[in-house]
Each structure stands twice: as structure tokens, then as C-alpha cells.
């Protein structure tokens, strides 16, 4: 029995060692995800989608008012509790062209990169541009799932577009450096 287990144990040890021997300069979806999620990221007036249940919960928790008609859409006015969570604008819902309610945020947020859509080289060998579906995590019971950051095309936000991210490499590896609009 012991003799049969030795080759399997040796193979497992070699596999574990070889897993850490990858190219430190390589960039793939896993590197993009790891760098995006490594630490809270500063966002400045990024537009995020809010799910209907999150909108209702936020109103019940006094983060914003219940939606009230504002002509062609509904507005939920931001309250101080919502501002304390780094929301910076009223929540708009029911607006033509938007599948979900949305608002803006500013501050440092943990990110969740859900899916890389495309990757290309940046301006130099130490820069990568990634299009991905990315959400922000907010530490509040209303937000049990991340709020999706909205992508931009031709100056217009859209909740179905990926976000364009810029990564840069330094002596410590790859880092998310900014969101490109």
C-alpha cells in the first residue's frame, strides 16, 4: 500500500511546485480578476446599476426615498444614510433605454470582476486594456450582490456594456490603474 501511494504523493508535490512557476509577466483573465479584486479601488462618479429588490430595500432602510414620478422616469432622492455608503446621486428608475435603476458612487470599493469580455495590449508592453463585467461590493444588507458598474459608449452609459479597465505592470506585478471612458 505504501509503495503505491508514493508515486501519487510525489506527483501531487511536483504539481503544487510547478503551479507557482508560471511567467510572472503573463497576463490572462485570472490575473485581471486577481488584480481587480486585490484591494478596494477608488471610483469617481461611476454609474452603477441597482436591482429592483435593492432599490426597494434601500428605500425601506432610508438610504433613499421611495421612487416618485419625475415626468418620464422615477427618482428616489438620496438620504444621508445612502451618502454614508458613498452613493452620490439620486436613484433613477424606469428611464427609457435602461433595463435597471441606476445611481452614481464615489469612494473606495471592493470590486468583483465577473467576466472578461476582451483583452488587448495597451500603449506599451507594461499596459493592458480589458473589457469586463465588474461590480462593486457595498457592506450593507440591501446589497447582497455587487452593483454592476455601467460601461460607456459614445459618452452614454449603458447597463449592458462591459467596463473598460486599464492595467499596468510594475516590479510587483499587474495592477488595475483606472477605468477608461
Residue labelled with grid coordinates 454609474: 47
- Cα torsion at 36, 40, 42, 47 (round to 10°)? 70
* 5 three-state secondary structure: helix
| Beta-carbon count within 10 A of 175 CB | 15
In angstroms, the CA 15 to CA 94 distance is 53
Q: Is 48 exposed, middle or buried (0-12, 13-18, 19+ CB in 10 A)?
A: buried
**For the whole model, what pTM was predicted?**
0.84
Under the banding of pLDDT at 50, 70 and 90, the label for residue 16 is very low
| Model pLDDT for residues 53-89, shown as the tens digit of each residue | 999 999 999 999 999 998 899 999 999 999 999 999 9
**One-letter-per-residue 3-state SS of 29-71:** HHHHHHHHHCCCEEEEEEEEECCHHHHHHHHHCCCECCCEEEC
| Model pLDDT for residues 128-157, shown as the tens digit of each residue | 999 999 999 999 999 999 999 999 988 889
Q: Is-contact 179 165, C-beta < 8 A?
A: yes
Amino acid at each position: 500500500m505504501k509503495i503505491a501511494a508514493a508515486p501519487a504523493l510525489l506527483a501531487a508535490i511536483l504539481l503544487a511546485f510547478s503551479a507557482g512557476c508560471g511567467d510572472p509577466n503573463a497576463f490572462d483573465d485570472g490575473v485581471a480578476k486577481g488584480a481587480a479584486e486585490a484591494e478596494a479601488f477608488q471610483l469617481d462618479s461611476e454609474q452603477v446599476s441597482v436591482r429592483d429588490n435593492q432599490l426597494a430595500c434601500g428605500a425601506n432602510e432610508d438610504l433613499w426615498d421611495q421612487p416618485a414620478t419625475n415626468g418620464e422616469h422615477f427618482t428616489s432622492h438620496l438620504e444621508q444614510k445612502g451618502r454614508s455608503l458613498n452613493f452620490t446621486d439620486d436613484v433613477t428608475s424606469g428611464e427609457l433605454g435602461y433595463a435597471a435603476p441606476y445611481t452614481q458612487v464615489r469612494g473606495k470599493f471592493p470590486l468583483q470582476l465577473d467576466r472578461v469580455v476582451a483583452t488587448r495590449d495597451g500603449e506599451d508592453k507594461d499596459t493592458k486594456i480589458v473589457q469586463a463585467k465588474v461590480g462593486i461590493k457595498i457592506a450593507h444588507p440591501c446589497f447582497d450582490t455587487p452593483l454592476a458598474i455601467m460601461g460607456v459608449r459614445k459618452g452614454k452609459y449603458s447597463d449592458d456594456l462591459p467596463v473598460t479597465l486599464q492595467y499596468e505592470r510594475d516590479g510587483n506585478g499587474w495592477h488595475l490603474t483606472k477605468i477608461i471612458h
